[in-house]
Amino acid sequence: MFKTISDPADCEVRSVIRFLNAKKVKPAEIHRQLVEIYGENVMTDGMVRKWVRQFNDGRTNVYDETRSGRPSVVNDGLVEKVNEKMRENSRFTIRMLFDEFPQISKTVLHEIVTNRLNCRKLCSRWVRKMLTDVHRTK
């Protein structure tokens, strides 16, 4: 019995597929060997066949292609501007911030306030999370 390798990198598995494909091993046998070494959840038989097809078509790169995604609008400068507006008025609402920053959605503003600036709502005021229970009761 072979020693199993847990949690392999995708490029490692693809490299093995490329190597065995170069040795003219059938895709079903490649999948069987991968499952034997890496475990049941390594890759499906269909994905092995897909990668074998791509390598036969001339692909040599085992890494993922870079994909374009939607760029994030949240940056440090924006977080700082939102923080300044919050300090001007502690009784702000997300709607008031939206009026100040109309180019940013309310959802993104809420994420900045809660996740990046660590504030939470307390009796219609936004306060920093670093307050203790004793401070909140006073």
What sign results for the dihedral spanned by CA atoms 110, 114, 119, 120? positive
Average pLDDT of the residues in 53-63: 94
Q: At what angle do helices 10-22 and 27-38 cross, to 10 degrees?
A: 140
CATH of domain 10-57: 1.10.10
Which residues, other chains included, contact 14 with Cβ-Cβ below 8 Å and sequence gap of 6+?
51, 62
Give the pLDDT confidence score for residue 14 in this predicted structure. 96
Confidence class for position 134, pLDDT limits 50, 70, 90: confident
